[in-house]
Amino acid sequence: MTTPIQYARDHAETFRQQLFELLRIPSVSTDSAYTGEVRRAADWLAADLKRIGMQNVAVMPTAGHPVVYADWLNAGADKPTVLIYGHYDVQPADQKKDGWSSAPFEPEVRDGFIYARGSSDDKGQAFVHVKTVESYLATDGKLPVNVKMLLEGEEEIGSKNLQDFLKTYADMLRADVAVISDTGMTDVDQPEITRALRGLTYMQLDVQASKIDLHSGGYGGAIHNPALALAQIIAKLHNPDNSIAVPGFYDKVRPLTDTDRAEIASLALSDEKYMEITGAPGIWGEAGYTADERITGRPTLEINGLLSGWTGEGAKTVLPAKAMAKISCRLVADQDPVEIYELVKAYVAQITPPTVRAELKLLNMGDAALMETDMPEMQAAVRAYERGWGKAPLFARTGGSIPVVADFKRILGAPTIMLGFGLNTDGAHGPDEHYSLEMFRKGIDTAIYFLEEVAK
Amino acid sequence: MTTPIQYARDHAETFRQQLFELLRIPSVSTDSAYTGEVRRAADWLAADLKRIGMQNVAVMPTAGHPVVYADWLNAGADKPTVLIYGHYDVQPADQKKDGWSSAPFEPEVRDGFIYARGSSDDKGQAFVHVKTVESYLATDGKLPVNVKMLLEGEEEIGSKNLQDFLKTYADMLRADVAVISDTGMTDVDQPEITRALRGLTYMQLDVQASKIDLHSGGYGGAIHNPALALAQIIAKLHNPDNSIAVPGFYDKVRPLTDTDRAEIASLALSDEKYMEITGAPGIWGEAGYTADERITGRPTLEINGLLSGWTGEGAKTVLPAKAMAKISCRLVADQDPVEIYELVKAYVAQITPPTVRAELKLLNMGDAALMETDMPEMQAAVRAYERGWGKAPLFARTGGSIPVVADFKRILGAPTIMLGFGLNTDGAHGPDEHYSLEMFRKGIDTAIYFLEEVAK
């Protein structure tokens, strides 16, 4: 009798061809001109899920692009329920404008990599799970665990309708553990499990002096220029050692233990490497921490945008009425995003001079996530990677945020395992995005093993 | 025999009707849709100048809107030559969008004021001189001095072709003194002569860290955010007492004497008045100086614009590659605009951290101007105002810049007298711009007296 692993081997070429079909659909969620294509990708996935034997397959409407849902719940009540999350929408891509070597929606294989928009982020990685389920159902006729699959079409536009969807269908989606394959690793030969995500508090600071823009000749020198005042406020948000000056900001930060630091160091890049990748003339950051510790284990305060007065070409002698900054903090466990907003707000109020008015608004937020390595589901993932790769995985942390992880915890009560099968060099969001055929194959193996291991 | 003054009295209603004709032409120089109207205003003025007996009347092309030129040079070589400058282009105006009480290009008189775009800035004030010349030629048949008239059509778009025009026609335009009527006074009953204009050094500061925008999750905390670095640089441009921190910045500033300070105080507004006018919550500025001294007698460093990263609605977690600020200094005598640029550049280089790259470009500049009160032409203006108003004028300083004043000095060798006949409350550039009929009448009287006085 054929095993799921053997089935996956035997159908590797078919799986690739099927993935190519999906990659050919330009499901660009950010551009309303592609709304029909996004829908077409959802329908394509729903048809494949039906074909392989998944149940309750539905393309479910939201206020935006639809969610593809499917489940298979016949493993029995004593077996865990795994919620598999992925997204089928992609970033925009224009061959000429963005400088692709081949057409972004005409996938082709070069040197063992599939080149196409969405190949890694996230169609390729989501498809790993569809083919995993197929490999089981086509051989064993059943899955080792109960599986619910949720493939959304708005990840690239901030998953803006997903939270409502999770709330509305919380009972239907309830699971013991969630799995997301939407992260990368550094080395194709060394598996990694991302176990930490940073949270986010995203704010807007508006500073105003006069009611309307003034002539800089008529009033300049006697009215506090709000762009200057904004810069003066921003300059007080960090201490000379580049730590954040907001009182109380670090109070709830879980300190990095020696084990944490060793874990981070195991996958760290050198300062020189960061300079090479970014082109920045130097490495910057909080004193006492390495670049990787700053990015993955410590909170930050970034200026994401600035706007005031005249920003076009040439000169306009305006004394602006207003100046605006977008300010965001990446948070680590156990910081609370709302509390951080309150702390920054109080500090800004304290340092704002009486010659201007300042208002700090909360725009967006998300909790940090730190998954313990001794969780049974995490240990199941460790064993799955060991079997899939023949090598024990390292634990990794990312500086980014995947807000849905906190939503899964809060709304569905499920912890999330980041079962990433991408590479950090895949070029997600950039030109020539690609996905390693080897990662695709190892990913399916590992996902097959994971369902087996998590059932134990 | 009728005197020029009597002629102006007798024709006051005709003059007003003629000005209305000119005001009905929407000569908006900033909007290419109005190019034909700008030309029509130039032609209208040329026709009026011919009709009243001016010579060599020409609508002269530039790379943009034309210059109207006319002269009358029969006063004799022993009489001075006066170059009268004005502009016939206006700011845009939209009755509904901008909230005008009446149509901006359908002038009407309400409570002794002409309401129309350009009524004060500068068609009304420029027309004072046309009617002054007419009043002489229609009565005496001659002018007391040689007169050259230059009316440009690009003042509201920065007189961008005027410098070239002055250079090309320097011989034709050569004069002993230039006269500009494009400034205002505070009180209709108290004449003022503006004798100080601030200079300008307008720069752009670009700060860059990474080559391209980065994900704030992937790199935030380890790369110096250029918007933060820009704010940190800007925050170091002023000292805690709000003086400018650039070394050498004040070295050439001509200090305010007790006489200067008394002169400024004679027309000063209270801090409360500035707060009321601007809506700012407080008055700000260099310690040791009043608001009016800061605006008119001291140099400034303003932030005219800021731009970096995401400036739209909502949140985008970008770590920007670049941040930009428009920075300008208003200068006073005897600061040199280029030297100021070099000083700011050296200081910015000194305070820029090694974790970012900064570049400071010079965009625009202009010399400050300070006209001595004992100049014969200035004394002629004083006597003219005394006769026109029945009251001695006060000397005023403006915080703004009129770059053409420096151009007249440098290219034509002529000092400029600011023979302003507007009121500061005329609402130039704003809705419901208006011009006092009394100022129009007194202006013509005073301009008639000025030509007589300057001939002495």
More confidently predicted of B303 and A402: B303
In degrees to the nearest 10, what's the CA dihedral of B7, B193, B116, B111? Answer: -70
Nearest to B279 among A211, A225, A232 (CB): A211
CA distance A220 to chain B (A): 6
What distance in Å separates the CA atoms of residue B167 and residue B410, rounded to the nearest whole number? 10
Give the CA count within 13 Å in the CB-facing half-sphere of B404. Answer: 28
Nearest to B215 among A224, A323, A400 (CB): A400
Give the CA count within 13 Å in the CB-facing half-sphere of A134. Answer: 22
Name chain B contacts of A357, Cβ cutoff 8 Å: 281
More confidently predicted of A241 and A314: A241
Task: Enumerate residues 35 to 64 of chain B having a beta carbon within 8 A of any beta carbon in chain A.
Answer: none
Name the phi and psi angles at A339, rounded to 5.
Answer: -65, -40
CB B450 within 8 A of CB B380: yes
**B268 pLDDT above the threshold of 90:** yes
Over residues B140-160, the pLDDT tens digits come to 999 999 999 999 999 988 898
**A316 pLDDT above the threshold of 90:** no
Average pLDDT over residues A424-436: 91
Average pLDDT over residues A320-324: 97
Same fold flag, B4-197+368-454 and B199-253+299-365: no
Name chain B contacts of A283, Cβ cutoff 8 Å: 222-223, 355
Q: What pLDDT sits at residue B215?
A: 86
Q: For residue A217, what pLDDT band results from cuts at 50, 70 and 90?
A: confident
Average pLDDT over residues B86-106: 94
Q: Is A160 in the B-facing interface, judged by CB distances under 8 Å? A: no
CA distance A80 to chain B (A): 33
Percentage of residues in chain A having pLDDT higher than 90: 91
CA distance B82 to chain A (A): 28
Over residues A2-43, the pLDDT tens digits come to 999 999 999 999 999 999 999 999 999 988 999 999 999 999
CA distance A204 to chain B (A): 9
Average pLDDT over residues A290-294: 97
- Strands B177-180 and B416-418 turn out to be parallel
Q: For residue B178, what pLDDT band results from cuts at 50, 70 and 90?
A: very high
Name chain B contacts of A216, Cβ cutoff 8 Å: 300, 302, 304, 328, 330
Give the CA count within 13 Å in the CB-facing half-sphere of B336. Answer: 7
What distance in Å separates the CA atoms of residue A382 and residue A388, rounded to the nearest whole number? 10
Q: Is B240 in the A-facing interface, judged by CB distances under 8 Å? A: no
The 3-class SS string of chain B reads CCCHHHHHHHCHHHHHHHHHHHHCCCCECCCHHHHHHHHHHHHHHHHHHHHCCCEEEEEECCCCCCEEEEEECCCCCCCCEEEEEEECCECCCCHHHHCCCCCCCCCEEECCEEECCCCCCCHHHHHHHHHHHHHHHCCCCCCCCEEEEEEECCHHHCCCCHHHHHHHCHHHHCCCEEEECCCEECECCECEEEEEECEEEEEEEEEECCCCCEEHHHHECCECCHHHHHHHHHHCCECCCCCECCCCCCCCCCCCCHHHHHHHHCCCCCHHHHHHHHCCCCCCCCCCCCHHHHHHCCCEEEEEEEEEECCCCCCCCEECCEEEEEEEEEECCCCCHHHHHHHHHHHHHHHCCCCCEEEEEEEEEECCEECCCCCHHHHHHHHHHHHHHCCCCEEEECCCCCHHHHHHHHHHCCCEEECCCEECCCCCCCCCCEEEHHHHHHHHHHHHHHHHHHCC
Chain B's closest residue to A299, CA to CA, is: B221
Over residues B422-448, the pLDDT tens digits come to 998 898 888 899 999 999 999 999 999
What distance in Å separates the CA atoms of residue B412 and residue B403, rounded to the nearest whole number? 14
Average pLDDT over residues B264-276: 95
Q: What pLDDT sits at residue A401?
A: 86
Which of A13-17, A384-388, A402-406, B285-289 shows the lowest per-residue confidence on average (mean pLDDT)? A402-406
- Strands B300-309 and B199-208 turn out to be unpaired
Cβ <8 Å between A303 and B280: no
For the beta carbon of residue A79, count every other beta carbon within 10 angstroms: 18
**B5 pLDDT above the threshold of 90:** yes
Q: What pLDDT sits at residue B263?
A: 95
Q: Does domain A199-253+299-364 have CATH number 3.40.30.10?
A: no
Over residues B200-220, the pLDDT tens digits come to 999 999 999 999 898 888 899
Mean pLDDT computed over every residue of chain A? 96
Nearest to B280 among A223, A294, A309 (CB): A223
Q: Is A227 in the B-facing interface, judged by CB distances under 8 Å? A: yes
More confidently predicted of B163 and A1: B163
Q: For residue B309, what pLDDT band results from cuts at 50, 70 and 90?
A: very high
Q: What pLDDT sits at residue A96?
A: 94
What distance in Å separates the CA atoms of residue B166 and residue B172, rounded to the nearest whole number? 9
Q: For residue B403, what pLDDT band results from cuts at 50, 70 and 90?
A: confident
**B314 pLDDT above the threshold of 90:** no
Over residues B25-83, the pLDDT tens digits come to 999 998 899 999 999 999 999 999 999 999 999 999 999 999 999 999 999 999 999 99
Over residues A80-118, the pLDDT tens digits come to 999 999 999 998 999 998 899 999 999 999 999 999 999
* CATH architecture of the domain covering B4-197+368-454: 3-Layer(aba) Sandwich (3.40)
Q: Which string of b and e fits A392-431 if b means at least 16 CB within 10 Å?
A: ebbbbbbbbbbbbbbbbeebbebbbbbbbbbbbebbbeeb
Q: Which of A87, A284, A125, A292 is nearest to A196 (CA)?
A: A292
Q: What pLDDT sits at residue A353?
A: 98
Name chain A contacts of B220, Cβ cutoff 8 Å: 295, 300, 302, 330, 399
Cβ <8 Å between A302 and B220: yes
**A150 pLDDT above the threshold of 90:** yes
Q: Does domain A4-197+368-455 have CATH number 3.40.630.10?
A: yes
Name chain B contacts of A351, Cβ cutoff 8 Å: none
Q: Which of A14, A44, A8, A40 is nearest to A27 (CA)?
A: A40
Cβ <8 Å between B234 and A225: no
Cβ <8 Å between A211 and B283: no
Task: List the structure tokens of B113.
Answer: 């004021």
Q: What pLDDT sits at residue A428?
A: 87
CB B327 within 8 A of CB B204: yes
Name chain B contacts of A316, Cβ cutoff 8 Å: 304-305, 326
Q: What pLDDT sits at residue B133?
A: 98
Q: What pLDDT sits at residue A1?
A: 82
Burial of A32 (0-12, 13-18, 19+ CB in 10 A): exposed
Domain ranges of chain A: 4-197+368-455, 199-253+299-364
Q: What pLDDT sits at residue B424?
A: 87
Q: For residue A67, what pLDDT band results from cuts at 50, 70 and 90?
A: very high
**A228 pLDDT above the threshold of 90:** yes
The 3-class SS string of B420-434 reads CCEECCCCCCCCCCE
Task: List the structure tokens of A397.
Answer: 């942390």
Burial of A112 (0-12, 13-18, 19+ CB in 10 A): exposed
What distance in Å separates the CA atoms of residue A269 and residue A276, rounded to the nearest whole number? 11
Chain B's closest residue to A317, CA to CA, is: B304
Average pLDDT over residues B263-284: 95
Task: Enumerate residues 386 to 445 of chain A having a beta carbon within 8 A of any beta carbon in chain B.
Answer: 398-401, 429
What distance in Å separates the CA atoms of residue B267 and residue B184, rounded to the nearest whole number? 12
Cβ <8 Å between B316 and A326: yes
Domain range B199-253+299-365, CATH class = alpha beta
CB A30 within 8 A of CB A157: yes
CA distance A434 to chain B (A): 19
Cβ <8 Å between A307 and B303: no
Cβ <8 Å between A310 and B326: yes
Q: Is A253 in the B-facing interface, judged by CB distances under 8 Å? A: no
**B364 pLDDT above the threshold of 90:** no
**A402 pLDDT above the threshold of 90:** no
Cβ <8 Å between A311 and B326: yes
Name the phi and psi angles at B447, rounded to 5.
Answer: -70, -35
Mean pLDDT computed over every residue of chain B? 96
Number of residues in chain B:
456
What distance in Å separates the CA atoms of residue A386 and residue A446, rounded to the nearest whole number? 8
What distance in Å separates the CA atoms of residue B86 and residue B436, rounded to the nearest whole number? 18
**A123 pLDDT above the threshold of 90:** yes
| β partners of residue B396 | B194
Q: Is A318 in the B-facing interface, judged by CB distances under 8 Å? A: yes
Cβ <8 Å between A309 and B304: yes
